[in-house]
Amino acid sequence: MKVTVRKFSGEDTASLVSLFHETVHSINSKDYPQEQLDAWAPALPDLKKWRARFKTSKTLVAEFEGKIVGFGNLENELSTVDMLYVHKDHQRQGIATSLLKKLEKKLRESDTKTATAEVSITARPFFERSGYHLVRENRKMLNGKEFLNFIMEKELTLKESIDMKDDKVKKKQAFRWGDLFINKVFDLLIVILGVSIAFQLNNLKLESDQQSLEKFYLESMLTDLDKDVSECNENLENLRSDHKLVAGYLRKLQQPEPTADSLGIVIVETIWFDTFNGNQDTYSTLLASNGFSALGDRAIRSQITEYYKQYQSVERFDKVYTDILFQFYTYFSPYCDFSTRQIIDASVVEKVQTRNNLLMALGQLNDSIESYTEMIAKATALKARIESTIQK
């Protein structure tokens, strides 16, 4: 069985959460009661939080014949093997071992000497076979339920440590003047470099005046605006694509006998929604340090303030649309296989609620396209004004 292990992509979120829920409620049910399973893997997951968790941790995904069959990740500043789950239909096929080896390789690359894992009762025998030993029992609270699991460790660099000790013994030799000379020259260069940097910083401080400070702020804001425009354009392109898919399928529902064909693609593509992160570091600095006084043009100050108010509009939409997508996900979950993007129960097509969910998503997509278009227009206008001011 040839399994491919790759990095996590945002589009994997629903498939990983679905795999996690199914694995916990089937594989782990022999060691944990139902109320603990429900607390461990709730029926209504927060996809936004899950996606953020997968993105910030070192998450690896295992695929077999184009289908996701497992995943694992590193957490606690990428130092601990945290999640390691394999699809219930692909147990004992070497998938967990492949994922664990890849995760341990990542730990070695970051100079981690000991791999730590928080392990369930079910997973303990696997980790013991993989070279981990028990450190202690661990009891933790999760969604109001107490769980028993285990903290286990594995030495990753034992052989390397022995080799290093041997090398130190072998390399004990006579003192070499060349090494001392090279080290001293290097130290001298560091001192010279430090003095040079300090000298340049002092000159910059002496030369800074109202005009140069204003230019600094405006150039920094241009960088932020470029990032905003790039992010908004990317989000807008995705939203327009989703709008086209949803509107197209709604037209299919108007046909005499609509089929489930392409509905799975519409559902999965619509769920993958990137919220607007924003790039307002310069604006926040201006507010915090009263830096607006450095901007001589009152009109540009007003335009900057007006532009960043638009953030609130986009963020409000993102929040509302994210809540709707959670409802969207919850409704379609029993009818759709998110990993294959296929409908597994065609009766969903005939349900009035299906049409209502699609119409609700379409309405929000219309609003979102309008908000992002306005955001890009205001960012472009502000950029032009700032560039004109800098060139004067």
Q: DSSP string of 68-83? A: EEEEEEEETTTTEEEE
Write the CB contacts of 378 (distance below 8 Å, at least 6 apart in sequence). Answer: 306, 307, 310
The predicted model scores a pTM of 0.50
> Given pLDDT bands bounded at 50, 70 and 90, which one contains residue 174?
very low
Distance CA 282, CA 206 (A): 22
Alpha-helical (H) ranges within 140-209 are 158-170, 177-207
Task: Compute the average pLDDT of residues 36-49.
Answer: 86
Distance CA 41, CA 27 (A): 12
> Given pLDDT bands bounded at 50, 70 and 90, which one contains residue 211?
confident
**286-321 pLDDT per residue, tens:** 887 777 777 777 888 888 988 998 888 888 878 888
Closest C-alpha to 68, from 329, 330, 340: 340
Compare 272 and 61 and report the one with higher pLDDT.
61
At 291, list the tokens: 């830096």
Write the CB contacts of 386 (distance below 8 Å, at least 6 apart in sequence). Answer: 218, 221, 222, 225, 300
**317-329 pLDDT per residue, tens:** 788 888 888 888 8
Task: Compute the average pLDDT of residues 204-217.
Answer: 65
